[in-house]
Structure 1
Amino acid sequence: MKSRSPVPMGAPMRVDLLNCADEPIHIPGSIQPHGALIFFTAAGEVEGWTENAPAALAAHLELAKPFGELGLPAEVTELIQESLDSMSEGEAMPMVAAITVGDTEYDCVVHAHEGRVIAEFEAREVAADTVAQFAIKAHSSIDRLRRQKNVDALLDTAVRQVREFTGFDRVMAYRFRPDDSGDVVAEARRDDLVPYLGQRYPAGDIPPQARRLYVLNTLRMIADVTYHAVPLVGAPGAAPLDMSFALLRSVSPIHVEYLQNMGVGASMSVSIVINGRLWGLLACHHMGPKRVPYSIRMAADVLAQVIASTIQGLESREEAELVERAAKVRTSLVESLLLEEDPLEALIEHADGMLVAARAQAMIATQFDRVVCRGIDQGSGEAIVATLPDNVHELLVRQCSADWPEEAREGLGKWSGMLGLPYDPPSKGWCLLLRHEQIEEVAWGGKPDKSGQIGPMGERLTPRGSFDAWHETVRGCAHEWEDGVLIHARMTLGELARVSNARRAQTEATRAQLLAMLGHDLRDPLHSINMAGIVLEKTDSASKGGTLGRRIQSSSNRMQRMIGQVLDMSRIDRGMGLGVALERVDLAALVEDMVEEARLAYPTIVYELKIDGPAVVMADSGRLGQVLSNLLSNARHHGEPNQPIEILLRRDDGRAEVCIANAGAPIPHEIESGLFNPFKRSSLNNPRNRTGMGLGLYIAQQIVREHQGEIAYRHQAGAGGQGTSAVIFTVQLPLAAQD
């Protein structure tokens, strides 16, 4: 077996921007030339090496030869043995020793990965005492970083300190966005270099597999971008060597070309990893070749860990403050909801606190088609409510205009971001938190696109060649909803839903008791009272007893109607419907009967009836009469005194249309939005309709819907701005098919 000859390991694939995302950069099959590498099996036998290793290390390397027989310095054999002894599940942490081979000083770093021991020998140009001085500087830098009170100051200090003890021409701090693009948020540079501070670099500059390696191996150095890679040789048939944690690993030719296009001669990157995520990056550039000793790089790596820890602490404190503030708002809101009769009033009362906790600029609360707004005009609020889907029970998140229904985008105005909390889906209860569009002027680090041209590897797609700031105005998106805000919103939604369910359960229990009382305990005595009123009226019609009898009948009939409305509402709310029995009905005759009945009951009111012709519909005459009676009653109660009530029946495009109009001002906008809701505040305790509960239009709408028809309100101004304006309710029903 020892007589076998090693063979090249891993031929580099042809790479351009079309396939760079698939490039296996962790198994390049080569290293950078300022060092050498040997790797061993888990049994400690040689499995392969770099072509330059025998000469650089003055070692006679053979496949399957035990590491102890290679004649390597004692410090190296000790590290290999320790790595083998400490290997767990094929892994062992890196260990380092300074050695000298001939006239060359090396930093020897040994680690284990996937069951192999990898020994790297990186040539060092700087003397050990100089390295020690750098280490002292790095230690003082760490102390300075820990004293910073915010992220911006922390990163600004970091780039200056790293440049000071490493000597790079430029050190930049990137902060990555959720879309993986990165902003240069801090920079220390040589005075003659073009600044990159404030520029953004697209996510494609760091492909996914490179991003993964930045998390696994937090420090990476390219000593000379013009290097010629040294290939690996190894046992025939051996698996490619995974160099994810190697120091000398060769880099992608695409990345090398990218750096060359920037005019960079050497680079070092130090990852800032928080909770397993690549939060940011310290990118160091030198305009010519540059080697930074291993121990100094490790100091920079420790610095990055201190940065990550400090950032995590700062963000945690900020998040804790947000959580505390949000919890107070949530607790206060829930208390109000439990006490306040109207949920919308409670939500608007706490709007300011909710907006601060969510970092939003406007809030909309809606239920039963009623809409109330804070920080946004009523018309825009209603337009946004119209975009909400039905039967949603989870948080609805919209970030950009593209997240909204296409037909609604033009009418959004400045609003792009929305958190929708569907706290009571059965009643279409929503609480909406809005963020306005964040118009952003982005200075890209070069135009973020691909270009086809002749590059060092032939004709192909290559990285962009210009890194001058390329400005773009980004529109249509709000500032992204933070994780803490989303968590708070979900918790608030849960609390709102629990309160709504509790209120609904309480209402259902109360309603069940009320309906039982209405249906049994009150109807029978009311019937008896009504009969007594009839008897009293007939027995003494000429005296005060007759008047009293009529009053008793009127009051008991009114109570009977109220009871009937409540029972109807209960059937509607339970999804039972009103049980209409459809038959052919002469709508003209029904309208005439209802108007005549109103004339007899209220002889002082003028009813102007106009019927354009016969109209036969499929209807339940009793229920349809209930609708007409309600609309006539509304016109009587809310119309201007001494003005006629107009009733028009006509046919239009296969439908029959009944219009009932009374003179009056338009219904206020805030009332109009909830006109067909039950128990409207505008109806309760209305001096012109003291016994109204706001159920009439609610029930009328359901009756019309069960007839496959429509009921609607509109206001008509007087001709030319003069004369009497009219409030008009219209009922449309499909005409019955002819026999």
Structure 2
Amino acid sequence: MIQSFTPGTTTTLDNCDREPIHVPGSIQSHGTLIAVDREGVVRYVGANVQALLHCGVTVGEPLPENPGTVCPLIAALLQDGLQALRGERDVPMPSELQVQDRQFDVVLHVGSAMLVAEFELRHQTHSELAGFAVQAHRAMEKLRRPRAIDELLQLATEELRALTGFDRVMAYRFRHDSSGEVAAESCVDTLDPYLGRRYPASDIPAQARRLYVANTLRLIADVRSAAVPLLQEAGAPPLDLSGSILRSVSPIHIEYLSNMGVGASMSVSIVINEQLWGLIACHHMGPRQVPYSVRMACDVIAQVLSANIQSTLSRSQAERLQQLAGARTHLIEELLHADDEFTALTQHTAEMAAILQADAALVAHGAKLTVFGEVSEAAGSAIVQWLAAEPVQDRQRLFQTQSLPQLAPDLAAVTSPWCGVLGIPFDRDRNGWLIFFRKEQIETIHWGGKPDKDIRHGPLGPRLTPRGSFDLWKETVRSTAEHWSTLELDAARQLMDELVRVQNARTAEINRTRNQLMAVLGHDLRDPLHSISMAARVLEQGGTDGGRAGRIGQRIQSSSSRMQRLVSQVMDMSRLQSGLGLDLQRTDVDLVALLNDLIDEARTAHPGTEIVGTIPAALKAQVDADRIAQVVVNLIGNARHHGQSGHPIEVHASATGEWHEIAVRNVAAPIPEDIARNLFSPFKASSVGNARNRSGMGLGLYIAYQIVQGHGGSIGYEYRAPHVVFSVRLPVQRPGTIEA
């Protein structure tokens, strides 16, 4: 039945994929079929079995064994097949059967728990077939010799046409998008050549491709011959004819071949690595039944061809893989020992681009960008920025496209003519990319007819029909580049994994070295700083020079206090980075007394700064008093450094149920969102070179965050116009304790 759709169904090319071509319920007319179960009972039979075999066969009954009929011969042929169905032996090889003046090739196969016996009429005599074996052997010998793939395909079309007598034999090679192209052809002079023409993927639906792999040779002896129905018991499912040599033809495919003017066809699959790589398609303008033995020789020839093509492809891929592996190894070795990974990458990028068959490349890392080839820095920078944007690209994975203008139309003006992009991320924190480019490939495709299918209305509603014309139809394709092959993408993923591993190793080494440096600085600087601080106090107390020594002492004391604070932060950072934690010593603390002392100290140290405290009479908590003091001092210090002069710093404290809250507020503009996201991260870029806090390293808020988290609390920022507010929440009781 022609594929049709119920009202309301969207008619698309995908609907063709649902046609059940493996269970058509009928066979071609140049043979017949008998299918029996394990007990030898007939379950399916061709309606023409009596006319061809002169044998009365009834569905649901065993094969008759009446003397004087041909059925005993058939039963004898099927006995070995039944043993194979029961798993007792292999399926018998094809054999012959003489029925009166007719010769049949008998082919057995097992499927759907049935033994299927097919009887195909043979019109040639033994003497007529004798020469085919020698001819086929010569063709195989020619195809075994190493040649270029296009030469092999052309030779195969010539040999199969000579062997089978078809009017046209084409070698059809599939492309990455499942469309196919005629790569070689041999045909009679009166036919329009199809060499170089392309056919859309929809010409061979998905289920047909699967059958081409499972059953590698398919003959349609007479396109215009009516199919013969299979007889079966009522309610029984259709017989699966995937392995059948007589399976009838889809009406859509019959219409397709008729529109081409084809009267008979044969296709032989080129299967490589269990995938349909191509087809040898044979067409005849009238009916043509190629003998089964000749078809089997064609199938073997195609297997020889497939093996030679696979060997050629494997050699080519092995050479490229060796080149890629060597370049990747050199690059990774350079990176592992280089002080500057950006420079190391740039030294090997041109080599990688050549092996990946890219026209240009770039390396980007942070603010650095270097281009190779004709790509401009403006185009490279635009693509890097686009790749870094969310949600355009999942930066955990490789990025690849052959049509950048379609993905990013806004970039087309600056990035032309670059359409193919292969992006390898290697440092996600600093937007590190290794990117390869391919230019636009303006291609004129010679289609075998306009590739669109028409929707026509029939008795059962709308259906897709094959195109009516196969005349040359040209299409110019722009804004695309040559696609990145599977081999190239696999090589890029391997390189990405290696680069990420190198980056992680470098980061781990840097962190380890930094932590060791912090520990050394914190330990070795503390004692001399303490000595300097003591000497400064002695100077402050001296008064014989009119107070000059006292002023010098105050300056030394102030500087040493700042250095001690930095050393303490370095020590805390070292403990946190090494996983030791801050070693909190919790005791019962009156937060009111602690806050009042801290406010008084700040007022004394900075008499020009107004600090206002709003604090209740009592706030009891189980905390590490020194660490909480460290948090509050840091927040007051930040408010003093960043707040607007002339406005007070406000310190509020309150109790709300199970929580104590301490808030430090100052009048200031809101913190920019990009900075606010990283306020509690160490070594923030916004902390470096801050004009109002030159000695800051960006550690204070990070350590404050860790202290509060260690107490089971939270710290956060918000803007309540005109105030910047930092709030600390601490639990009334130590987490895990039970009130008595």
TM-score by length of 2: 0.71
- Matching residue of 2:514: 511
Residue deviations 1:325-380 (CA, integer Å, cap 9, x gap): 11111111111111111111111101122113322222222223422222222111
- Matching residue of 1:87: 85
Q: Find the partner of 2:27 among 19, 25, 31.
A: 31
Structure 2: how far apart are the matches of 1:152 and 1:326? Answer: 26
More divergent stretch after superposition (399-408 vs 240-249): 399-408
Shift of 1:178: 2.7
Structure 2: how far apart are the matches of 1:226 and 1:124? Answer: 19
Structure 2: how far apart are the matches of 1:212 and 1:44? Answer: 30
- Matching residue of 1:184: 182
Shift of 1:323: 1.8
Q: Find the partner of 1:464 among 463, 467, 483.
A: 467
Structure 2: how far apart are the matches of 1:531 and 1:142? Answer: 99
- Matching residue of 1:42: 38
Structure 2: how far apart are the matches of 1:224 and 1:476? Answer: 44
Shift of 1:533: 11
Q: 1:190 to 1:22 in 2, by over 3 A?
A: same
Q: Does 1:498 align with 2:492?
A: no
User: Is the contact between residue 104 and residue 122 of structure 2 (CA under 8 Å) also seen in structure 1?
Assistant: yes
User: Is the contact between residue 31 and residue 119 of structure 2 (CA under 8 Å) also seen in structure 1?
Assistant: yes
Structure 2: how far apart are the matches of 1:501 and 1:197? Answer: 53
Structure 2: how far apart are the matches of 1:52 and 1:378? Answer: 75
- Matching residue of 1:401: 404
Question: SS at 2:117's partner residue?
Answer: strand
User: Is the contact between residue 79 and residue 95 of structure 1 (CA under 8 Å) also seen in structure 2?
Assistant: no
More divergent stretch after superposition (32-41 vs 88-97): 88-97
Shift of 1:95: 2.9
Question: SS at 2:429's partner residue?
Answer: helix
Shift of 1:430: 2.4
User: Is the contact between residue 222 and residue 268 of structure 1 (CA under 8 Å) also seen in structure 2?
Assistant: yes
Shift of 1:407: 4.5
The within-5 A match list for 1:335-350 is: 335-350=333-348
Shift of 1:405: 4.7
Shift of 1:141: 0.8
Structure 2: how far apart are the matches of 1:465 and 1:488? Answer: 44
The within-5 A match list for 1:385-534 is: 385-389=384-388, 392-401=395-404, 404-405=407-408, 407-453=410-456, 461-522=464-525, 525=528
Q: Does 1:382 align with 2:405?
A: no
Question: SS at 1:95's partner residue?
Answer: coil
Alignment-mate amino acid for residue 464 of structure 1: R
- Matching residue of 2:624: none
Structure 1: how far apart are the matches of 2:318 and 2:724? Answer: 72
Structure 1: how far apart are the matches of 2:412 and 2:88? Answer: 55
Structure 2: how far apart are the matches of 1:415 and 1:571? Answer: 50
Shift of 1:130: 2.1
- Matching residue of 2:677: none
Shift of 1:80: 1.4
Q: 1:738 to 1:445 in 2, by over 3 A?
A: closer
User: Is the contact between residue 85 and residue 114 of structure 2 (CA under 8 Å) also seen in structure 1?
Assistant: no
Alignment-mate amino acid for residue 620 of structure 1: N
- Matching residue of 1:620: 638
Structure 2: how far apart are the matches of 1:540 and 1:319? Answer: 89
Structure 2: how far apart are the matches of 1:622 and 1:319? Answer: 66
User: Is the contact between residue 90 and residue 116 of structure 1 (CA under 8 Å) also seen in structure 2?
Assistant: no
Question: SS at 1:157's partner residue?
Answer: helix
Structure 2: how far apart are the matches of 1:569 and 1:424? Answer: 24
Shift of 1:121: 1.4
The within-5 A match list for 1:593-632 is: 620=638, 623-624=641-642
Shift of 1:450: 1.9
Structure 1: how far apart are the matches of 2:173 and 2:162? Answer: 21
Q: Does 1:327 align with 2:325?
A: yes
Shift of 1:58: 1.0
Structure 2: how far apart are the matches of 1:370 and 1:702? Answer: 24
Shift of 1:163: 0.8
Shift of 1:535: 10
Q: 1:255 to 1:738 in 2, by over 3 A?
A: closer
Alignment-mate amino acid for residue 59 of structure 2: L
TM-score by length of 1: 0.71
Question: SS at 1:360's partner residue?
Answer: coil
Residue deviations 1:433-465 (CA, integer Å, cap 9, x gap): 233332221111111112245889998542111
Shift of 1:221: 0.8
Residue deviations 1:674-723 (CA, integer Å, cap 9, x gap): xxxx999xxxxxxxxxxxxx9648999997xx9xxxxxxxxxxxxxxxxx
User: Is the contact between residue 64 and residue 71 of structure 2 (CA under 8 Å) also seen in structure 1?
Assistant: no
Structure 2: how far apart are the matches of 1:486 and 1:738? Answer: 50
- Matching residue of 1:245: 243
User: Is the contact between residue 15 and residue 253 of structure 1 (CA under 8 Å) also seen in structure 2?
Assistant: no
The within-5 A match list for 1:85-234 is: 85-87=83-85, 93=91, 95-234=93-232
The within-5 A match list for 1:52-63 is: 52-63=48-59
More divergent stretch after superposition (219-228 vs 358-367): 358-367
Structure 1: how far apart are the matches of 2:637 and 2:447? Answer: 67
- Matching residue of 2:259: 261
Alignment-mate amino acid for residue 372 of structure 2: R
- Matching residue of 1:637: none
Shift of 1:406: 5.5
Q: 1:197 to 1:562 in 2, by over 3 A?
A: farther
More divergent stretch after superposition (497-506 vs 404-413): 404-413
- Matching residue of 1:668: none
Shift of 1:40: 1.2
- Cα RMSD for the two superposed structures: 4.6
User: Is the contact between residue 161 and residue 169 of structure 2 (CA under 8 Å) also seen in structure 1?
Assistant: yes
Q: Does 1:67 align with 2:85?
A: no
Structure 1: how far apart are the matches of 2:129 and 2:252? Answer: 32
Shift of 1:622: 5.8
The within-5 A match list for 1:596-675 is: 620=638, 623-624=641-642
Structure 2: how far apart are the matches of 1:267 and 1:77? Answer: 33
- Matching residue of 1:22: 18
Q: 1:151 to 1:505 in 2, by over 3 A?
A: same
- Matching residue of 1:640: none
User: Is the contact between residue 419 and residue 440 of structure 2 (CA under 8 Å) also seen in structure 1?
Assistant: yes
User: Is the contact between residue 267 and residue 279 of structure 2 (CA under 8 Å) also seen in structure 1?
Assistant: yes
More divergent stretch after superposition (117-126 vs 194-203): 117-126
Shift of 1:619: 9.9
Shift of 1:418: 2.5
Shift of 1:196: 1.0
Structure 1: how far apart are the matches of 2:65 and 2:722? Answer: 104
Shift of 1:136: 1.6
Q: 1:147 to 1:98 in 2, by over 3 A?
A: same
Structure 1: how far apart are the matches of 2:397 and 2:54? Answer: 68
- Matching residue of 1:647: none
Structure 2: how far apart are the matches of 1:623 and 1:197? Answer: 78
Q: 1:623 to 1:738 in 2, by over 3 A?
A: closer
Question: SS at 1:387's partner residue?
Answer: helix
Q: Find the partner of 1:736 among 714, 718, 722.
A: 722
Structure 2: how far apart are the matches of 1:457 and 1:353? Answer: 61
Shift of 1:76: 4.2
User: Is the contact between residue 264 and residue 287 of structure 1 (CA under 8 Å) also seen in structure 2?
Assistant: yes
Over the matched positions of the two proteins, sequence identity in percent amounts to 46
User: Is the contact between residue 65 and residue 72 of structure 2 (CA under 8 Å) also seen in structure 1?
Assistant: no
More divergent stretch after superposition (360-369 vs 62-71): 62-71
Structure 2: how far apart are the matches of 1:168 and 1:283? Answer: 10
User: Is the contact between residue 80 and residue 92 of structure 2 (CA under 8 Å) also seen in structure 1?
Assistant: no
